[in-house]
Amino acid sequence: MKKLDALLYHLPSPLQVVKHDAFTQRGLQLLVKRDDLLHPHVSGNKWRKLKHNLLEAQRLGCSKLITFGGAFSNHLAAVAAAGMEFGFSAIGVVSGEESGVENPTLGFAQACGMELFFTSRANLRNYTETKLLELLKIDAKGAFILPQGGANCLAIPGCREIVTETMAQLGHPPDFFVTACGTGATLAGIASGIAEHNSTALGIAVLKGDFLQKEVESLMAKCGEQSSKHPTGESWQMLNDFHFGGYAKWTPELIDFINDFKLKTGIPLDPIYTGKAFFAAVQLAEQGFFQAGASIVLVHTGGLQGVAGFNERFGDLVL
């Protein structure tokens, strides 16, 4: 498993200057942190979240990864790819019926050698990981267990590196980071990274409801991570108005935005996470949310593997 060193000495992802009318017209500097380019298959924030987990798995001498996720999960695909690349065997517990195995995400995971087990959504929600593994008769001996979405304490230091990398590239902290939020672990990492800087992190919830603020707070507390208040208010906040109806829900307006953004900037987005986060950032710019002269870093958290599955379900909507 020597190749794991590659995780420590990786190149920073590009920080791309992007011209977009909504920003330039208002004197805002727009930058995109291209974490989608970190790795061809362990993309975006999944790479960030897995980094220290994989190093820990190696340190503990674990040769097997076990994780959990939905049938189109970016996390599941990332764990499968990381397992193959770094020599771990991998097991994925998937919510839903075995027939879902036809989709591109699960096909990819299996092609990477991940062994899949299926269980109901209710089981995934209600049982503890240990109980679920018992129920499915999965041998967890010598396994390193990653929660759904990879959202544990070891995910946070990797996501914090988004901030340190960006500051090194930019030479100063940007005024804003914007990132999509599913579990909130990525935002927690960014929030802890900016605790000592004059920078604000905005999380865009891609799920309906207003529970993610609390999730981030409790994750940070559980993991002993600090955030801080700026003189002007909280250093991070969760925005709950850009979920487009809920997780994996979409509207034609969202699809148009994603396709238009790609035509204008050359940057591909996905409809589940980054499309919603970037849409939110453009709306906020248009509403005058950012003060003139502000620098705004949109974190491209990856997720492009999900586009094929989306297009397969809904017709080739996303360019």
Ligand X SMILES: *Cc1c(COP(=O)(O)O)cnc(C)c1O
Q: Give contact residues for ligand X (rule: CB under 6 A).
A: 44-46, 74-75, 149, 151, 180-186, 270, 273-274, 301-303
Q: For residues 274 and 295, which CB has a smaller minimum distance to ligand X in the complex?
A: 274
Cβ 231 to ligand X shortest distance, Å: 27
Q: For residues 26 and 107, which CB has a smaller minimum distance to ligand X in the complex?
A: 107
Number of residue whose CB is nearest ligand X? 303
Cβ 2 to ligand X shortest distance, Å: 28
Q: For residues 225 and 270, which CB has a smaller minimum distance to ligand X in the complex?
A: 270
Beta-carbon contacts of 200 under 8 Å, excluding residues fewer than 6 positions away, are 175, 176, 177, 194, 230, 234, 235, 236, 237
Distance CA 186, CA 257 (A): 24
Cβ 141 to ligand X shortest distance, Å: 28
Cβ 295 to ligand X shortest distance, Å: 21
Q: For residues 23 and 47, which CB has a smaller minimum distance to ligand X in the complex?
A: 47
Cβ 11 to ligand X shortest distance, Å: 20
Question: Could you write out the DSSP letters of every residue in the chain?
Answer: -GGGHHHHTPPPPPEEE---HHHHTTT-EEEEE-GGGS-SSS-HHHHHHHHHHHHHHHHTT--EEEEEE-TT-HHHHHHHHHHHHHT-EEEEEEES-GGGGGSHHHHHHHHTT-EEEEE-HHHHHHS-HHHHHHHTT---TTEEE--GGG-STTHHHHHHHHHHHHHHHHSS--SEEEEEESSSHHHHHHHHHTTTSS-EEEEEE-SSSS-HHHHHHHHHHHTT----EETTEESEEEE-S-STTSTT---HHHHHHHHHHHHHHS----TTTHHHHHHHHHHHHHTT-SPTT-EEEEE----THHHHHHHHHH-S---
Q: For residues 149 and 268, which CB has a smaller minimum distance to ligand X in the complex?
A: 149
Cβ 179 to ligand X shortest distance, Å: 7
* Residue 301 identity: T
Cβ 46 to ligand X shortest distance, Å: 6
Q: For residues 21 and 211, which CB has a smaller minimum distance to ligand X in the complex?
A: 211
Q: For residues 129 and 140, which CB has a smaller minimum distance to ligand X in the complex?
A: 129
Q: For residues 83 and 306, which CB has a smaller minimum distance to ligand X in the complex?
A: 306
Cβ 155 to ligand X shortest distance, Å: 7
